[in-house]
Chains A and B, each alone.
Chain A
Amino acid sequence: MRWYWIDRFIEFESGKHAKSVKNVSLAEEHLHDHFPGFPVMPGSLMIEGMAQTGGILLGEHYKFQYNVILAKVPKVTFHSWACPGDQLIYSAQLQDAREEGGSVTVTATVGERLVAEAEIVFVHLNSDDPQLSRIDQKNFVFRMNLLDILTVGKAGAGS
């Protein structure tokens, strides 16, 4: 399985905000266990999708010269569910960006319905940082791997 928790970007304003889409599908294996007979998108994966949206927004701001690491989720509130067939829209606003890291606020909505909102803090690590070797590369997605989503997003917007 690929660790992509957003499907594509639909808006991207460098250094300001980004909007991505996540289509929830009953083909996702975990939904059959979460929960049997009542499939809902796990909140933890929603946080991951919000972090991928915000992490790319921050990473792009510095032209991907840093490895953007999800450091902290100071606040997250879930207001509602996201079920198969729902289209989640993650809207991230860049709040802070500096050499050491950055922070974003993100909302998740389905149509007019607010599903979740979060504050997320990221740190920057240089590629030669010894701490980086401790990170499981399989789950490290903020830099290059997710760039193709950005490309898809641009293509999808016709630009």
Chain B
Amino acid sequence: MASADEIFVKVQETLVDALGVDDDEVTPTATLIGDLGAESIDFLDIVFRLEKNFDIKIPRGELFPENLATADSGFVADGKVTVEGIAQLRTKMPHADIDSFALNPVVSKLSDLFTVDMICKFVATRLK
């Protein structure tokens, strides 16, 4: 069982390779899209690399769920994710910091759930 530090270092290497960023940019709180400039295409590349680097399987939608709280999902009202939507996020993304997001659940901040720490937590659950 790898330690949290070991997981972080490997996740950091993975993101440096996938996103072409410097290792000091990849901090635990860095957001993939906002801080590290990831685009949707990069998520598949990141999944491939994590699977290889950690020798784990990541089924579709488990690390990076698709169509989260889209306009037609029924989980959005007035630009905010509804209580039911928050509950769904907790189910779909137990590895993400939903508590912080729930304080001000504006849809435009949804992508901030995808952080380096979120990946580390997800990987840790797969390595158990």
Contact = CB atoms under 8 A, between A and B. Distances in A.
Binding between chains A and B: yes
A103 interface: yes
A121 B44 contact: yes
Interface in A37-91: 71-72, 74-75
Interface string B38-61: 000110110010010000000010
A31 B18 CA distance: 33
B44 A71 contact: yes
| Chain B facing A: main interface SS | helix
Interface residues of B, number: 10
A36 to B, nearest CB: 33
Interface string B63-92: 000000000000000000000000000000
Contacts of A103: 45, 48
Interface residues of A, number: 13
Contact of A121 (B20, B41, B51): B41
| Chain A facing B: main interface SS | strand
B50 to A, nearest CB: 11
Interface of A: 71-72, 74-75, 95-96, 98-101, 103, 121, 123
Interface of B: 17-18, 20, 41-42, 44-45, 48, 51, 60
21 contacts: A71-B41, A71-B44, A71-B45, A72-B41, A72-B45, A74-B17, A74-B18, A74-B20, A74-B45, A75-B17, A96-B48, A99-B60, A100-B60, A101-B44, A103-B45, A103-B48, A121-B41, A121-B44, A121-B45, A121-B48, A123-B44
Contacts of A75: 17
Contacts of B48: 95-96, 103, 121
Contacts of A71: 41, 44-45
A60 to B, nearest CB: 19
Contacts of B44: 71, 100-101, 121, 123
Contacts of B45: 71-72, 74, 103, 121
Nearest to A99: B60
A98 B45 CA distance: 12
A71 B46 CA distance: 13
Contacts of A96: 48, 51
A100 B41 CA distance: 10
Given A74-B18, A95-B48, A103-B48, A123 B60 contact: no
B56 to A, nearest CB: 13
Nearest to A71: B41
